[in-house]
Amino acid sequence: MPKIAIASENGGGLDDVVASRFARAPKFTIVELDEKGNIVNVRVIDNPGAQATGGAAIKAIQALINEGVDLVVGPAFGPNAQAVLTEMNIKSMTAAAGTKIRDIVEQAKKELGLG
């Protein structure tokens, strides 16, 4: 089942908004969809990159790799982050900071070719 991770500004969840920075976002909202694009599960995980002294993006991505996500959503991705996401075959999508996460899911479905 497709999984999306959205960099979240506050406590995460569908009512939170997209964080202003990907690697330093405090939480990632993990949204699982079924093949039709319906939301089947929403979870929130801590971002280990949030408090990292260095290599924050990589620590964040490592957590998302371990989660097995297919698509990562953030306001922007740095060169290191983009390189690793590409290498790990994870799709990325940018969305303006402050966008409602619930609204992101709709766009993400299109990105994944669902629904």
Partner 1 sequence: MRVKLAVTGGKGGTGKSTVATNLAALLARERRLVLADLDVEAPNDHILLGVGLENEEPVKIMLPFIDYKKCTRCGVCAEVCDTGAIVLTRDKTPYVVPRLCSGCRACYFACPEKAIIEGQRVIGYTYHTNVRLKTSSFDLVTGVLREGEEHTPPVVLAARRRAMKLANDVLLVDTSAGTASHVAIALEGSKLAVAVTEPTPLGLHDLEMILKILSEQGIEAWVVVNRWGIGSSGRMMDRLAETARNYGAVIKARIPYSRDIVDSYVKGVPIVEMLPDHEVSKVFYSLAKEILETI
Applying CB under 8 A, which residues contact partner 1?
52, 54-56, 58-59, 61-62, 65-66, 68, 79-80, 83-84, 87-88
**Min separation Cβ 94 and partner 1, Å:** 21
Residue 56 to residues 2, 40, 42, 98, 107, Cα–Cα distance (Å): 25, 29, 24, 21, 26
Give the CB-side neighbour count of residue 10, counting CA atoms within 13 A: 9
Q: How near is the Cβ of 75 to partner 1 at its closest, in Å?
A: 20
- What angle is formed at CA 106 by the lines to CA 94 and CA 33, rounded to 5 degrees? 100
Query: Closest CB to partner 1 among 61 and 105?
Result: 61
Smallest gap from Cβ 112 to partner 1, in A, equals: 18
Nearer to partner 1, 39 or 65 (CB): 65
